[in-house]
Amino acid sequence: MFIVWWCSLPRPLFSDPGSTVIESREGVLLGAHIAGDGQWRFPEADSVPEKYKTCLLAFEDQYFYRHPGVNPFSLIRALVQNIKRAKVVSGGSTITMQLVRLSRKGKPRTVFQKLIEMSLAVRAELSWSKDELLALYASHAPFGGNVIGLDAAAWRYYGRSTGELSWAESATLAVLPNAPSLIYPGKKNELLLKKRNLLLDRLEEQGIIDALTNELARLEPLPERVFAIPRDAPHLLDRVMHEHPGERIATTVNSELQTQVNDLVRQHLTRLKANEIHNAAVLVMNVKKGEVLAYVGNSPDFAGGRHGEAVDIIASSRSSGSILKPFLYAAMQDDGMILPNTLVPDIPTQIGGFSPQNFNLQFAGAVPASMALSRSLNIPAVRMLRDFSYERFYALLKKLNFSTMHRPASHYGLSLILGGAEVNLWDLAGAYASMGRLLIRYEEEDGVSWKDDFRHPVYEFKKFSEEVSGSVPVSAGAVWLTLEALLKVNRPDEESGWESFSSSRQVAWKTGTSFGFRDAWAVGLSRDFLVAVWCGNADGEGRPTLTGTTAAAPLMFDVFSLLPSGKWFSSPDDEMRGIPVCRESGYRVGPWCGTADTVMVMQKGLNTEACPYHRLIHLDKAGKWQVSSKCVPVDEMIHQPWFVLPPGMEWYYKRQNPFYKSLPPFHPDCQEALKTMEMIYPRENNQVFVPIQLDGSPGQVILEAAHSSPGAVIFWHLDEQYLGQTSGLHQMPVNPRPGNHRVTLIDNQGNQLIKPIVVVQEK
């Protein structure tokens, strides 16, 4: 019998579904969702506020801390009262007995059931402390309608937490579980008012409150309306509901910052809606700990929205645009494949059937790698990815915890760097913040990194492993070089307005725009904070002028204005070396380089090749013609270093760099078979695609070449057929038949270039 009695009380005592509740790091309620059974039932609280506990004990069970679960004196008193009035006017139940009755769900109120409750109440006193029993009762007592528990009642009837309740409010909620049907917010209820005031008088009689406090409390009205539960972070609440259903989660969110970011998103969406852009998301993080400080998954006011405002964009997969380019730059620095200012070709490029274009549809010929990153040029990025290998880059992104790429690397190919893969703001913010965390750890831990340094953001307070990591996806030095490149305010011409973002605050920032103007990204990283922003339409509709700089960056910098500024990352000098590099090419100094600069590079950067663009040329005494020993004696030559780009790069480079000096032509008596011509299209492969016009006939193909001499004339031939001549801009339209052909170019100096091509007719 004892064993049966001991096992008669279930653990836990209640199995009802609970509301999912999230609180800020300061304990402020950010939001709650109704329980699965339609009740507002917050998760069980650990304690009960003193005012409410005092009121409850004075009203229900003033000997609560003295009896073992059953108070025989209360039972005898209730029995006498019931006999005198010939009806049940008092049950004599203790708070523990009422708690047991609540857990047994609607058992009939008979003498036999009362005896069972008494037995189980004694049993409950052996398993829980008095304070724990009070907390259980306050968490599961009915408060009228679909409100269960003190926490839910305080928010629904008074719009505040239990710790902020007045004496009058605490007294009202103390008497409600005894008669929950008495609550009618907004309507007079004399019986509830009478019960509350009697309790206040009792508190005064017991010396708990004074007469003035009692008088002022009696003047307070009963609840006049039902308050909505706060929804300051509705999309975070939805995320927590999925990951921690029915739990109370103390998040890392800063309540004041969350409110301010909500307001900023509202303001910016008001402006963006003029262009039919209806959605925006912002994630703010503490870099060192990786904690989420503000989480705005979409428009804060999504109730009744018609544009997908309920969608949590932070967790949604969207086309990445150019936002992944910094990771490629860091990886290539780490691997010693490029130096910070190594010239990268920016010329018309076709790789297989893939022909990338810069945003402005222009070509620079050649740009320093750091500028290619800060200006977000597409063609240099694709060529860099080709050199690095998209398989290796795909593996790197996986190590950086990008979780939305479910297909093999070959599915994405080189488009991986231009938005061919989808990412979400959660993974993106985590990857950028992890790079910043690596630099902080390097500075504070003397170069030691931890196993969990590269991780997703967290919205709960967690302790991560302090186990030392044997390797990291990218090194601290490569990260520092990347962030230094992103500090530079060199942005594409079409992204006008970036100058307004310059300030004394040091923020490394990158924008991205997906194909069709569907997604606008902006990520900014300071030493202490990360701000990640997305703007667009949840349904994927693109809008003209929707770019990362025009839509997302202004919101990102406005959020940064809410955050305190701090110092910048320290340079991880132990991982880098200072070496001389050619100022014009960015390569390691070669034998013929002119002006040199000292730059910090990764250790593997010492193995890069010397400058390939500076060479020694031989001129006649007047410096007008190139010559050779075949036609001019060596002692009559001038030997001079010269910066020379390949013809294809030179053609575009000299348009934007007026100080670039092309090579002098060869003396007519000293012609040599040098590479003075280069095909621009087709380039990497030999395939040429002929489009089909609307009438079904094959269209034209424009072949293009570059010549190192500005005044050169090129004579074009297709197979054995002469096509014509060009000067200046060397473009030749042709109508070739499908199949194999040979293009022959001969310039006016007799130099010849032969290019085999394969013509493919598009269907």
3-state secondary structure 325-392: HHHHHHHHHHCCCCCCCCEEEECCCCECCECCCCCCCCCCEEEEHHHHHHCCCHHHHHHHHHHHCHHH
Beta bridge partner(s), residue 677: 707
Give the contacts of 650 (CB within 8 A, at least 6 positions apart).
365, 644, 660, 662, 706, 708
Beta bridge partner(s), residue 136: none
Nearest by Cα to 489 from 466, 512, 506, 469: 506
Domain edges within the chain: 2-219, 614-670, 677-761
- Give the pairing of strands 576-582 and 291-296: unpaired
Residue 109 CA, distance from chain mean position:
56
Residue 284 CA, distance from chain mean position:
8
pLDDT at 499 (0 to 100): 55
Nearest by Cα to 33 from 176, 244, 181: 244
Torsional class of 159: left (φ above 0), alpha (ψ -120 to 50), beta (otherwise): left
Helix (H) or strand (E) holding 120: helix 111-127
Give the predicted TM-score (pTM) of the model. Answer: 0.85
Give me the amino acid identity at 306.
R
Helix (H) or strand (E) holding 79: helix 72-85
Point out the residues of the chain with pLDDT beneath 70: 78-92, 303-304, 489-504, 671-675, 684, 694, 749-750, 762-763
Nearest by Cα to 431 from 523, 552, 528: 523
How far apart (Å, rounded) are the C-alpha atoms in residues 411 and 430? 24
Architecture of the 677-761 domain:
Sandwich (2.60)
CATH number of 2-219: 1.10.3810.10
Please answer whether residues 417 and 381 qualify as being in contact, where contact means their C-beta atoms are separated by less than 8 angstroms.
Answer: yes
